[in-house]
Structure formats: structure tokens, C-alpha cells
């Protein structure tokens, strides 16, 4: 849904003629578009930058199209490719979930809390993946993320 730009972001809802507020609920200072909410918003940029650093990837956060290109280039079934795709998907899912929590339940998660949450999901999914097949494991990554293999 996110990749196809079918998420009901506020810019799209406004485009459909619905009466909704247009501001991003994560930073409350920009219009909510897909590009903004995932990689340009200060909140999500901080989360993504921290996740990249935790993967020893030292680069700046790019815009939606370039981040999608980067994730799409992670092909194959190697540990690193699968792990980066998993982290990207967990990040996008978690940002959208946080946005919905703020709108529909008023709950609020700090950027630091969200980073911890994404890492926990990734760790659990990786553990399950690793126990279900023989893969070459990136031990440096597992140690850095506290994954006991
Ligand atoms: Zn924002």
C-alpha cells in the first residue's frame, strides 16, 4: 500500500474532497504526504537515521523514491539483504502505525521508543527466520542488535 501510494494520507484524503486536517501528526508542522511522513518528517528521519546507524550504514536519509530504490536493490536471500528489507518494512509499518495511534487513540510514542520497538520486531522476526533455515549469519550484526544465535 505504501509503495503504491495507496495509504490514506491526509493529502490524498483532501484530494478526495474529505474534510480532514492536513498537517502531519508526527511533527505537526508540515503537510502529511507519503514522502513527508516516512522520510522527510523530523520524527521519522530520526528513527530511520538511528536504524541505519545501528546497521553500520553511514549515509543521510534520502527522499521516499531514493529510499525505496535503496531497499529494492536489496535483492536475494542473503542475510544482509533480507535483514535490510525487513528493517525497511518494519520501519514503514511502525511509522504508519504510530501515525494512526496518534490520530485514533491519542497515544504517543517517542522516537526513541519507536526505535526500540522496531528493533524488537526485527529481532523476533530474524530469530524466527534463522531457526527455520540454514543461512550464513552476519555475526557482527547479530551481536550489535543483541540477537542471541
Ligand atoms: Zn511530520
Position 81 in a domain: yes
Do 47 and 56 meet the contact criterion of CB atoms below 8 Å apart? Answer: no
Position 60 in a domain: yes
Position 4 in a domain: no
Do 71 and 85 meet the contact criterion of CB atoms below 8 Å apart? Answer: yes
Position 8 in a domain: no
Q: Which domain holds residue 94?
A: 35-144
Within 13 Å and on the Cβ side, how many CA atoms surround 120? Answer: 7
Report how far ligand 1's centroid is from the alpha carbon of 130 (Å). Answer: 35
- Chain centroid to Cα 119, Å, comes to 10
Taking the chain, what is the end-to-end CA distance rounded to the nearest angstrom?
33
Residues with CB under 5 A from ligand 1 (ion): 24, 26-27, 30, 41
Position 136 in a domain: yes
Position 126 in a domain: yes
- Chain centroid to Cα 113, Å, comes to 13
Position 42 in a domain: yes
Question: What pLDDT does residue 129 have?
Answer: 79
CA distance linking residue 96 with residue 19, whole number of Å: 20
Report how far ligand 1's centroid is from the alpha carbon of 67 (Å). Answer: 17
Position 48 in a domain: yes
Report how far ligand 1's centroid is from the alpha carbon of 36 (Å). Answer: 6
pLDDT tens readout for residues 107-139: 899 999 999 999 999 999 888 877 776 567 888
Question: What pLDDT does residue 134 have?
Answer: 57
pLDDT tens readout for residues 27-72: 999 988 989 999 999 999 999 999 999 999 999 999 999 999 999 8
Section 2-29 average pLDDT = 79
Residues 6+ apart with CB under 8 A from 62: 39, 70
CA distance linking residue 88 with residue 48, whole number of Å: 9
- Chain centroid to Cα 148, Å, comes to 23
Looking at the structure of the chain, the number of domains it has is 1
Report how far ligand 1's centroid is from the alpha carbon of 16 (Å). Answer: 21
Amino acid at each position: 500500500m505504501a509503495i503504491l501510494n495507496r495509504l490514506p494520507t491526509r493529502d490524498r484524503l483532501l484530494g478526495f474532497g474529505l474534510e480532514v486536517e492536513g498537517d502531519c501528526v508526527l511533527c505537526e508542522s508540515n503537510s502529511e504526504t507519503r514522502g513527508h511522513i516516512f522520510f522527510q518528517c523530523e520524527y521519522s528521519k530520526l528513527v530511520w537515521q538511528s536504524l541505519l546507524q545501528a546497521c553500520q550504514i553511514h549515509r543521510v536519509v534520502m527522499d521516499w523514491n531514493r529510499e525505496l530504490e535503496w531497499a529494492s536493490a536489496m535483492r536475494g536471500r542473503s542475510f544482509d539483504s533480507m535483514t535490510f528489507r525487513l528493517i525497511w518494512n518494519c520501519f514503514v509499518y511502525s511509522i504508519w502505525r504510530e501515525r494512526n495511534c496518534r490520530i485514533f487513540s491519542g497515544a504517543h510514542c517517542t522516537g526513541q521508543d519507536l526505535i526500540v520497538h522496531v528493533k524488537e520486531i526485527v529481532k523476533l522476526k530474524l530469530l524466527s527466520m534463522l531457526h527455520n533455515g540454514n543461512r550464513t549469519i552476519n555475526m557482527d550484526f547479530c551481536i550489535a542488535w543483541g540477537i542471541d544465535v
